[in-house]
Each structure stands twice: as structure tokens, then as C-alpha cells.
């Protein structure tokens, strides 16, 4: 999925539109990963975790993964516990690794 040669051939001469000042919110299925009939059948591109770590480092950690999957499933795919919005936003993990359940927290007020 991530053929850097093709990407560089088409976009290598472009000025970056993203800078260190931009945060990245990246969707997992259908964006970072190709869709598959089931979550278990998804092929994870080699180097995905390293690419995400590099992008996060370039932005001082301002990168989060968004998915309908659970945090455990996201971590299994990315090989790192990135900040994330899991289960369609019902579970959040912040940059410090703290888990939040915004709907539950709002309902308990």
C-alpha cells in the first residue's frame, strides 16, 4: 500500500503542505489500511509503525489514530500506543496514555 517510489515520483517536487505546527488525525481502516472483509483479514503494510512514529516525532507527538476498532486492536496494528480515538470516539487515549470515556463521564455528571 505504501509504495514510496510512486509517492515520490508524483509528489516529490511539491512543497510540504503540512508543517510541524499541524497535528495529524489519521483514520485506520480505509486510510492507513486497505479495507478487508473482516478486521482480522486486514494486511498491515510493512513499516507502518515506523512511519507513524516518524510522523509523530516530526510533530512533537501531535498525531492520533481514529478508528471504530478497540484500543487493543489499534495498538496491535500500529505496534505503538499512539493517542487514539477508538470505538468511534467512545474511548479516547491521550498523549500521556490516560484512557477517557467521554460519554460515560458526561452521563455521570
pLDDT (tens digit per residue) in 79-100: 899 999 999 999 999 999 999 9
Catalytic residue (choose from 3, 21, 27, 75): 27
In terms of Cα–Cα distance, which of 71, 108, 77, 76 is closest to 93?
A: 71
Distance CA 98, CA 109 (A): 20
In what helix (H) or strand (E) does residue 35 lie, and over which residues does it extend? none
Provide the pLDDT for residue 89. 92
- pLDDT greater than 60 at residue 2: no
Residue 3 is among the residues annotated as catalytic for this protein:
no
Q: Assign domain 4-107 to its CATH superfamily.
A: HAD superfamily/HAD-like (3.40.50.1000)
φ and ψ at 91, to 5 degrees? Answer: -130, 130
pLDDT tens, position by position, 9-63: 666 666 667 777 889 999 999 899 998 888 788 889 888 999 999 999 989 999 9
Domain assignments of the chain as residue spans, ordered by start: 4-107
Distance CA 57, CA 83 (A): 13
Amino acid at each position: 500500500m505504501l509504495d514510496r517510489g510512486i509517492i515520490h515520483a508524483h509528489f516529490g517536487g511539491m512543497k510540504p503542505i503540512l508543517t510541524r505546527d499541524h497535528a495529524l488525525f489519521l483514520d485506520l481502516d480505509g486510510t492507513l489500511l486497505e479495507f478487508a472483509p473482516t478486521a482480522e483479514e486486514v494486511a498491515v503494510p510493512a513499516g507502518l509503525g515506523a512511519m507513524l512514529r516518524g510522523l509523530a516525532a516530526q510533530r512533537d507527538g501531535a498525531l492520533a489514530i481514529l478508528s471504530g476498532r478497540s484500543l487493543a486492536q489499534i495498538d496491535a496494528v500500529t505496534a505503538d500506543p499512539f493517542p487514539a480515538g477508538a470505538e468511534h470516539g467512545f474511548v479516547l487515549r491521550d498523549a500521556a496514555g490516560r484512557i477517557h470515556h467521554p460519554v460515560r463521564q458526561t452521563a455521570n455528571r
